Amino acid sequence: MSRIYFDNAATTALEPVVLEAMMPYLTTHFGNPSSIYSYGRETRLAIENARKTVARTLNAHPAEIFFTSGGTESSNTAITAAIRDLGCKHIITSPIEHHATLHATEHLYHTGEAALSHVKLLPNGHVDMEDLEHLLKTSGEKCLVTLMHANNEVGNMIDLQAVGALCKQYGAIFHSDTVQTVGHFPFDLRNTPVHFITGAGHKFHGPKGVGILYINENVKISPFIHGGAQERNMRAGTENVAGIVGFAKALDMAAENYEKDSSYIKSLKLYMMEQLEKHVKGVFFNGDPLGRSLYTVLSVSFPKTEKSEMILFNLDINNICASGGSACTSGADAGSHVIRAINNNPNQVTVRFSFSKHNTTEEIDRVVEKLKDLI
């Protein structure tokens, strides 16, 4: 029986066309981009062309795009720089951020470099904008607001424009972890009031180990990683040329096919909701799946029974890949901090299903059929 892969929020399959674009930089075009001879010049050109492609797709300036090893490094760089270089002494975040943000902010709090506040959540898991404004208004210090664009476990999305406008009003720095949305939504960074955003190639059919950090041109920060002069003295270390080329190619393709792919993937999510409601008693959907929500992610809570407690294990045995929460902590099942924050029901077990353009309604039918047995 072939495997069914419903964990695309964790990572996606590399597109063959993207691999094709990367191959020369893994084989014949192997030069170090910092070298001045022809081998180096051709890889340098590949990086700068990739930067232009990414900037054009996000409507940013190429000088605002920096290549990194992925979303975690990008978020850590932005958060740390806001505290150490931009004078922020108070971090405002939410309890349902990715650990790349949560652990970075907690670290800065524990070292005494910044105060830390968590904005309240509404019952549906959205950020309470009134509480956010209250925290900004009553803070005696310059603030960093770091809130993810789309939650990786339940899919809830913030309004970037609204949060950015509040930050502007109160003189705060705004960083958004956009790892789940870069490659899945159109961005217009020239007209979005945000100082930093992040992206990771493997979330939209690009390679792993490569990401971007967008730094607004009006922001000046120091490097987070020290060493050579790569990335315009901003990020030391020999560039992952093949990864960067793959990132740009995958992002370009995602933007080109956005209307078609997003509409198809959203139809899969809605179809699975309908089928689960029809066939599984007591099913509950976390977050705001029919409202302001990521079209790729569906978080489902099932009634806890002796059978359902082992649901992920049993899905795996049946060749179905899904996750219990954030895949980045899947090695140790400590339960999900996101689900605890918005639906702390001990009588339910939660599974995240996340879809891509490669999934089908037939796969959903097979999974629902199997879930009927497992619950």
CB distance 98 to 152 below 8 Å? yes
SS3 of residue 274 by DSSP:
helix
328 has catalytic annotation: yes
CB distance 302 to 276 below 8 Å? no
Residues ≥6 apart with Cβ < 8 Å to 68: 74, 77, 210, 211, 212, 213, 235
Number of CB atoms found within 10 A of residue 347's CB: 9
Q: How far apart are CA 149 and CA 198, in angstroms?
A: 10
Tokens of 264: 């198809």
Tokens of 346: 């001990």
SS3 of residue 318 by DSSP:
coil
The type of residue at 255 is A
Q: How far apart are CA 75 and CA 84, in angstroms?
A: 14
Catalytic residue among 88, 167, 321, 328: 328
Tokens of 178: 């956009």
Beta bridge partners of 67: 212
Is 370 exposed, middle or buried (CB count within 10 Å of its CB: 0-12, 13-18, 19+)? middle
Nearest to 175 by CA among 122, 105, 128, 226: 105
Nearest to 339 by CA among 261, 374, 287: 287
Catalytic residues: 328
